[in-house]
Chains A and B, each alone.
Chain A
Amino acid sequence: MSTRDQILAKVRAALADVPADERPEDVAVPRDYQRSRAGTDIVDLLIDRLVDYKAVVHHTASAAVGAAGHADASGVADAVVARLLVARGGRIGAPVGVPEEWLEGVDAVRDDPVLPAAELDALDGVVTGCALAIAETGTIVLDGSPDQGRRALTLVPDHHLCVVRLDQIVRTVPEALARLDPSRPLTWISGPSATSDIELDRVEGVHGPRTLEVVII
Chain B
Amino acid sequence: MTGARARGAGATGVSGTFVGMPAFPIASAKAVGDSQLRHNLHKATHTIRGKRAAVVGEQPDWTELRAAGAAIKNRVLRHLDVYLEQLEAAVVKAGGHVHWAADAAEANRIVTALVKATGETEVVKVKSMATQEIELNEALADAGITAYETDLAELIVQLGDDRPSHILVPAIHRNRAEIREIFQRSMSEWGRPAPADLADDPPALAEAARLHLRERFLAAKVGISGANFAVAETGTLVVLESEGNGRMCLTLPETLISVVGIEKLVPTWQDLEVFMQTLPRSSTGERMNPYTSMWTGAAEGQEFHLVLLDNGRTDVLADQVGRQALRCIRCSACLNVCPVYERAGGHAYGSVYPGPIGAILTPQLRGMSSELDESLPYASTLCGACYDVCPVEINIPEVLLDLRAKVAAAGGKGHRVERLAMAGARRVLESPGLLKAGQRAAGRFRRLTPRRLPGPLAGWTDTRDIPAPPPQSFREWWERNR
Partner-B contacts on A (CB < 8 A): 2-4, 6-8, 10-15, 17-18, 22-24, 27-35, 37, 49, 53, 117-118, 121, 134, 136-139, 144, 150-152, 155-156, 173-174, 177-178, 182-209
**Assuming the A-B contacts A3-B106, A29-B72, are A208 and B291 also in contact, with contact meaning beta carbons closer than 8 angstroms in the complex?**
yes
B231 and A182 within 8 A (CB): yes
Given A190-B286, A197-B153, verify A151-B203 contact (CB < 8 Å). Answer: no
Query: In B266-316, which residues have CB < 8 Å from any A CB?
Result: 267, 269-270, 272-274, 276-277, 280, 284, 286-296, 299-300, 308, 310, 314-315
The residues of B that contact A136 with a CB separation of less than 8 Å are 287
Residues on B with C-beta less than 8 A from A150 are 251, 300
- Neighbour of A201 across the interface among B100, B202, B209, CB < 8 A: B202
B353: CB under 8 A from chain A? Answer: no
Known: A186-B293, A188-B288. A178 touches B206 (CB 8 A): no
Q: A33-B65, A177-B270, A186-B292 are in contact. List 15 more A-B contacts (CB 8 A).
A: A11-B262, A13-B318, A33-B68, A37-B60, A117-B218, A121-B214, A151-B250, A187-B247, A189-B291, A195-B206, A196-B284, A197-B243, A200-B45, A200-B172, A208-B290
CB pair B44 A199 closer than 8 Å: yes
Once A and B bind, how many residue pairs between them come within 8 Å at the CB atom? 247
Q: Inside 8 A of A183's CB, which chain B residues have their CB?
A: 94, 234, 296
Complex Cα distance, B291 from A23, in Å, reads 35
Instruction: Judge if B348 is at the interface, Cβ distance under 8 Å.
Output: no
Q: Which of A33, A139, A204, A207 has the most CB of B within 10 A?
A: A207
Contacts of A203 in B (CB 8 A): 202-203, 206
A193 with B290: in contact, given A24-B267, A29-B75, A186-B295 (CB under 8 Å)? yes
Q: 14 A-B Cβ contacts within 8 A?
A: A7-B308, A11-B84, A18-B78, A138-B287, A155-B251, A182-B296, A185-B295, A185-B299, A195-B206, A195-B243, A197-B153, A198-B179, A199-B47, A208-B247
**Per-residue contact bits, chain B 338-362, to A (CB 8 Å; 1 contact, 0 not):** 0000000000000000000000000
The digit string for B160-194, where 1 denotes a CB below 8 A from any CB of A, is 00000000010110011001000000000000000
Contacts of A49 in B (CB 8 A): 287
State the Cβ distance, A142 to closest chain B Cβ, in Å: 10
- Chain A positions within 8 Å of B47 at CB level: 199-201
The answer to whether B40 has its CB under 8 Å from any CB of chain A is yes
Give B73-112 as 1s and 0s: 1 = Cβ < 8 Å from A's Cβ atoms: 0110011111111001000001000001110001000000
A30, A144, A177, A200: the one within 8 Å of B273 (CB): A177
With the chains together, A191 CA to B248 CA distance in Å? 17
In contact, B100 and A18 (Cβ under 8 angstroms): no
Question: Which listed residue, B213, B299, B314, touches A7 by the CB 8 Å rule?
Answer: B314
B62 to A, closest residue via Cβ: A33
Is B472 interfacial (CB-CB < 8 Å)?
no
Closest 6 A/B residue pairs (Cβ)? A208-B244, A207-B244, A14-B318, A206-B243, A137-B288, A33-B64
Which of B48, B100, B243 is A2 in contact with, Cβ under 8 Å? B100
A2 to B79 alpha-carbon distance, docked (Å): 21
Contacts of A6 in B (CB 8 A): 102
Distance in Å: Cβ of B315 to nearest Cβ of chain A: 8
A144 lies within 8 A of B300 (CB): yes
Given A207-B210, A208-B247, also A186-B317 (CB < 8 A): no
Residues of A within 8 A of B245 (CB): 206-207
Task: Report if B36 contacts A (CB, 8 A).
Answer: no
Given contacts A24-B75, A150-B300, A187-B292, are A199 and B40 in contact (CB under 8 A)?
Answer: yes
- B interface size (C-beta, 8 A): 96
B156 contacts the other chain (CB 8 A) = yes
Chain B positions 202 through 232: 1 when the CB is less than 8 Å from some CB of chain A, otherwise 0 = 1101110110011001110000000000010
Contact of B288 among A8, A27, A34, A139 (CB under 8 A): A139
Among candidates B60, B81, B175, B287, residue contacting A12 with C-beta atoms closer than 8 Å: B81
Interface of B is mostly: helix
Q: Is the CB of B206 within 8 A of A11?
A: no
Contacts of B250 in A (CB 8 A): 151
Give the CA-CA distance A204 to B286 in the complex, in Å: 13
Asked whether A10 and B242 contact (CB < 8 A) given A3-B106, A187-B247, A200-B47, the answer is: no
A188–B61 Cα distance when bound, in Å, is 22
Given contacts A30-B71, A186-B293, A199-B40, A205 and B310 within 8 Å (CB-CB): no
Contact B231 A206 (CB under 8 A): no
Is the pair A197, B169 in contact by a Cβ cutoff of 8 Å?
A: yes
Please tell me if the beta carbons of B314 and A32 are within 8 angstroms of each other in the complex. no
Considering the complex, give the chain A residue whose CB is closest to the CB of B274.
A33
CB of B100 within 8 A of CB of A7, answer: yes
Give Cα A2 to B98, complex, Å: 13
Least Cβ–Cβ distance between B16 and chain A, in angstroms: 24
- B43 at the binding interface (Cβ < 8 Å): yes
CB-defined contacts of B80 to chain A, threshold 8 Å = 11, 15
Given A29-B72, A33-B61: A182 and B202 interface contact (C-beta under 8 Å)? no
Do residues B102 and A198 form an inter-chain contact, with CB atoms below 8 A? Answer: no
B218 touches A118 (CB 8 A): yes
What B residues does A208 contact at CB under 8 A? Answer: 243-244, 247, 290-291
What is the bound-complex CA distance between A110 and B61, given in angstroms? 44
Contact of B209 among A155, A190, A206 (CB under 8 A): A206
A8 to B81, CA, bound (A): 6
A200 near B48 with CB under 8 A, answer yes
Give, as a whole number of angstroms, the nearest-CB distance from B395 to chain A: 17
Q: Does B255 lie at the interface of the complex (its beta carbon under 8 Å from any beta carbon of A)? A: no
Please give, as numbers and ranges, the residues of chain B lying within 8 Å of A22 by CB-CB distance: 78-79
Q: How far is the CA of A49 from the CA of B288 in the complex (A)?
A: 10
Cα(A22)–Cα(B105), bound, Å: 35
A4 — which chain B residues lie within 8 A by C-beta? 88, 100
Contact call B294/A186, Cβ cutoff below 8 A: yes
B244 pairs with A155, CB closer than 8 A: yes
CA distance A32 to B67 in the complex (A): 9
Q: Which of A13, A121, A197 has the most CB of B within 10 A?
A: A197
Nearest to B40 among chain A residues (CB) is A199
CB distance from B130 to the nearest CB of A (A): 15
What CA separation (Å) do A10 and B318 show in the bound complex? 9
A53 to B289 Cα, complex, angstroms: 10
Instruction: Choose among B218, B244, B294 the residue that contacts A193 (Cβ–Cβ < 8 A).
Output: B244
A118 to B252, CA, bound (A): 11
**Are A190's CB and B290's CB within 8 A?**
yes
